[in-house]
Structure 1
Amino acid sequence: MVSLKDIAKECGVSTATVSKALNGQHDIGEETKARVRETAERMGYFPNAAARALKTNRSYNVGVLFQEEAGSGLTHEYFSGVLNGIKVQVEKMGYDVTFINNSYGVKKTSFFEHCRYRNFEGIVIVCADFASQGVLELMNSAFPVVTIDYTHYNCTAVCSNNVKGMEELLKYIYKKGHRKIAYIHGQKNSNVTRERLTSFYRTMEELHIKVNEDYIREAAYLETKGAAEQTEILLDMDDPPTCILYPDDTSLIGGKNVIMERGMHIPEDVSIAGYDGTRISQLSHPRITTIRQDTEEIGREAARRLIDAIEKPRTTLIERVVIEGTLITGQSVGELPENNIQKDDE
């Protein structure tokens, strides 16, 4: 491994001069700085992280909290996209990423204590129980924190545009002639659910469609079982919906299986739509109508905002940053014949 001493010998200067040149200090001439840096690069010098941490009192390490209940973990396309966006951007800006946990081996501790132990410079909370004491302690701490799809007064939040996404999806379904629209939404304690559900009611009102409250059901995100059960209930109604919206593309699979098991066809007998725009939704037959979330950009923007807060705390505001999604029309929402369209004022 190339050391400062090796570079100093090659350049004919002291190790102190090499150190100052590589750290950009002003008492070294520009010509010397350029020569030292060129030599360091040519010789393959790489600074020792531990030495840099001791010298600067900085770890250049950010923590990522990721705890999702469905058990999909890093295999889920939405979260893997966000996490990859964070990783790529953080590394590009000269930082490392470490996952946060609440234990040292067998010893249990809090998320906050783990962050202090690891000397993290900042934290991104990708998925967690935001109402839990451990997560609240983290968000209320002095650590710079960026949250994904959750708004907290002390943290910058990076969110997908759930309001606009739901509005675009509903208006597309409306243009296809559907008026009897069911919505199986995610858990009500979720900020994402609240935004999408509010947008659903608001858009239905704008379109002059009376909401049938029996069509509004709840099932967990990323789980097929609950969505399947709610689909059974909707299809067994005397006046079933012509289109069913699901919490996400993964839970939609549960509903789709129920429809197919009944010998029904999509979209001829019933239309369906998801959310997230996962790859599997577009490999499915028929291709799913959904909203694609720009997960990589959500992750990259979260990383940029966090490192701004770390490096420029005096000029960084706590903000809510919204990332736009894209409507994918797919093939799973069919067009109703004119005589099957319920009049808006009925």
Structure 2
Amino acid sequence: MITIYDVAKKAGVSSTTVSKALNNYPDVSEKTRKAILDAAEEMGYMPNSHAQSLSTKKTWSIGVMFTEDNEVGMMHPFFNAVIESFRKHAEQEGYDLIFASRNLRNRNISYLEHFLYRGVDGVIIICSDQKDPYVVEILNSKIPLVVIDMKGINSSTVFSDNEAGGELAVDHFYSLGHRKIAHIAGSSDSFAGRARITGFMNGIKKHNLPLPDGYLVDGGMFSIIEGQHAMEKLLDLEDRPTAVFVAGDQMAIGAMEAVRNKGLKIPEDISIIGFDDIEMAKYVTPGLTTIKQDTEALGKQAGQLLVSQMVQKKKKIKSEIVPVTLVDRNSCQRLI
């Protein structure tokens, strides 16, 4: 059986250095860490996780928690992509993920109690409802934690530059000659929804554009059907907009369906920009112009923030903002 001493001998370091490298101690250089990990992999060395837990008080596990009003969770393509990126980074660092069951509430067990019982080294919260008492309980705890899509809380956060994205959508419409621009917004109860509304309004004010009554529509919790219903309201207006910025790609797909059901064409009769750049955005007809969230960067930065806290066994408060970009496809038409 291969031992830590065998790995140390092959890598040309002490067994203490091997232990530190395998347990992600910060005082081991990346060059040395890589040499040790390469040696361990080549020799087929597999550390005993139970022994590691006893000696380091680590379980090498991360709790994953989804909380949102419509309970879509990982079914939403954006959050699915983010958690996949996070998973890859966490696994590279030697951690496994433990997903909290929605049935916990039925058993009168809080998420925090569940994660403490499982002994996780840290927690990532995705698609969060800041008003949820179970979320608040974890946010106020001392457990290492990272939250995606939230701001101004007692924990480290990672989120896209939603405000810049909303303004970027208006800028693009304006450059194409559109002056009657509406917005199907995500719920104002959500951080992303509020931030994208702010960005949209910043763009409207920057270009001195009018915002007639009815041009700002609540699209709810970012679903296809809510996007369809919201677009129907815009299409029924006497002074119909020529362009619509939709706060999520799934809502935008629903909005496109509403336009087709009305006998109108995209982009000839109405131009549309979404937000997220989910996989389906490039396959709908016409291809959806959208504000791209960098899901790879979101997951990776969340992983780095959380691993740093878990290694130091200390909760830290830090925010990372990930830039967004506009992906230009075929759902917008130039008017001038």
Q: Which category describes the TM-score, using the shorter chain as reference length? A: 0.7 to 0.9
Distance 1:189 1:57, change over 3 A: same
Shift of 1:245: 1.6
Shift of 1:183: 0.4
Secondary structure in structure 2 of the residue aligned to 1:147: strand
Following TM superposition, where does structure 1 have runs of at least 4 consecutive aligned residues deviating by more than 4 angstroms? Answer: 3-8, 18-22, 36-43, 102-106
Alignment of 1:186-201 (within 5 A): 186-201=186-201
User: What amino acid is the match of 1:318?
Assistant: I
Shift of 1:185: 0.2
Shift of 1:255: 1.3
Other-structure match for 1:23: 19
Cα RMSD, aligned residues only: 2.7
Higher mean C-alpha displacement, 283-292 vs 39-48: 39-48
Other-structure match for 2:24: none
Shift of 1:107: 3.5
Assess if the C-alpha contact under 8 Å between 1:159 and 1:322 holds in 2: yes
Other-structure match for 1:207: 207
Assess if the C-alpha contact under 8 Å between 1:101 and 1:114 holds in 2: no
Secondary structure in structure 2 of the residue aligned to 1:274: strand
Secondary structure in structure 2 of the residue aligned to 1:62: strand
Other-structure match for 1:278: 278
Assess if the C-alpha contact under 8 Å between 1:248 and 1:275 holds in 2: yes
Distance 1:252 1:157, change over 3 A: same
Shift of 1:309: 1.4
Shift of 1:24: 5.5
Secondary structure in structure 2 of the residue aligned to 1:47: coil
Task: Structure 2 unaligned segments of length 5 or more: list them.
Answer: 22-35
Alignment of 1:32-71 (within 5 A): 43-70=43-70
Secondary structure in structure 1 of the residue aligned to 2:126: strand
Shift of 1:252: 1.2
Other-structure match for 1:124: 124
Distance 1:281 1:43, change over 3 A: closer
Aligned length: 317
Tell me whether 1:75 sits opposite 2:71 in the alignment. no
Other-structure match for 1:243: 243
Q: In the TM superposition, what whole-angstrom CA distance separates every residue of 1:187-234 from its partner, at most 9, and x where no partner exists? A: 111111111111111221110112223110101233122222221221
Alignment partners' CA distance in 1, 2:15 and 2:60: 19
Shift of 1:109: 0.4
Alignment partners' CA distance in 2, 1:290 and 1:111: 35
Distance 1:53 1:252, change over 3 A: same
Q: In the TM superposition, what whole-angstrom CA distance separates every residue of 1:223-267 from its partner, at most 9, and x where no partner exists? A: 122222221221111111111121211111221111112221111
Other-structure match for 2:218: 218
User: What amino acid is the match of 1:328?
Assistant: V
Assess if the C-alpha contact under 8 Å between 1:70 and 1:222 holds in 2: no
The alignment's TM-score, normalised by the length of structure 1, stands at 0.84
Shift of 1:145: 1.1
Percent identity (aligned): 31
Alignment partners' CA distance in 1, 2:16 and 2:191: 49
Shift of 1:67: 3.2
Secondary structure in structure 2 of the residue aligned to 1:173: helix
Alignment partners' CA distance in 1, 2:215 and 2:40: 67
Secondary structure in structure 2 of the residue aligned to 1:265: coil
Shift of 1:334: 0.8
Distance 1:178 1:58, change over 3 A: same
Assess if the C-alpha contact under 8 Å between 2:104 and 2:111 holds in 1: no
Q: In the TM superposition, what whole-angstrom CA distance separates every residue of 1:263-318 from its partner, at most 9, and x where no partner exists? A: 2111111111111011211111211111010012101100100111122367x852
Alignment partners' CA distance in 2, 1:335 and 1:107: 56
Alignment partners' CA distance in 2, 1:151 and 1:243: 30
Alignment of 1:1-346 (within 5 A): 2=1, 4=3, 22-23=18-19, 43-70=43-70, 72-101=72-101, 107-312=107-312, 317-337=316-336
User: What amino acid is the match of 1:122?
Assistant: G
